[in-house]
Amino acid sequence: MNDLSDVKFSRRELLIAGALSATAAAAPSVAAKQSATGAGANAASAAPPVMSKVTLQVNGETRKLDVDTRTTLLDLLRENLQLTGTKKGCDHGQCGACTVIVDGRRINSCLTLAVMHEGAKVTTIEGLGTPGKLHPMQAAFVKHDGYQCGYCTPGQICSAVSALDEIKQGIPSHVSPDLTARPLLNATELRERMSGNICRCGAYSNIIDAISEVAGSAT
Q: What is the pLDDT of residue 199?
A: 97
Q: What is the pLDDT of residue 89?
A: 96
Mark whether 138 and 169 lie in a shared domain: yes
Q: Which residues contact 175 (CB under 8 A, 6 or more apart)?
A: 183, 184, 188, 189, 192
Among residues 127, 158, 176, the one where a domain terminates is 127
In a domain, 104, yes or no: yes
In a domain, 117, yes or no: yes
Mark whether 162 and 203 lie in a shared domain: yes
Mark whether 172 and 185 lie in a shared domain: yes
Q: What is the pLDDT of residue 219?
A: 44
- Residue 135 belongs to a domain with what CATH number? 1.10.150.120
Q: Minimal CA–CA distance to 135: which of 105, 184, 101, 108?
A: 101
pLDDT tens digits for range 78-108 = 999 999 999 999 999 999 999 999 999 999 9
Mark whether 103 and 69 lie in a shared domain: yes
Mark whether 117 and 55 lie in a shared domain: yes
Among residues 105, 127, 149, the one where a domain terminates is 127
Interhelix angle 153-168/204-215, nearest 10 degrees:
40
Q: Distance between CA 82 and CA 73 in Å, rounded?
A: 12
In a domain, 200, yes or no: yes
Q: What is the pLDDT of residue 145?
A: 96
pTM of the predicted model over 0.85? no
Q: What is the pLDDT of residue 182?
A: 60
In a domain, 188, yes or no: yes
Q: How many domains does the chain have?
A: 3
Ranges of the chain whose pLDDT falls below 50: 218-219
Mark whether 86 and 149 lie in a shared domain: no
Q: What are phi and psi of 56, to 5 degrees?
A: -130, 150
Domain that holds residue 81: 51-127
- Residue 79 belongs to a domain with what CATH number? 3.10.20.30
Mark whether 167 and 200 lie in a shared domain: yes
Q: What is the pLDDT of residue 3?
A: 56
pLDDT tens digits for range 108-124 = 999 999 999 999 999 99
Mark whether 88 and 153 lie in a shared domain: no
Among residues 127, 150, 171, the one where a domain terminates is 127
Mark whether 135 and 211 lie in a shared domain: yes
Q: Is 130 helix (H, G, I), strand (E, B) or coil?
A: strand
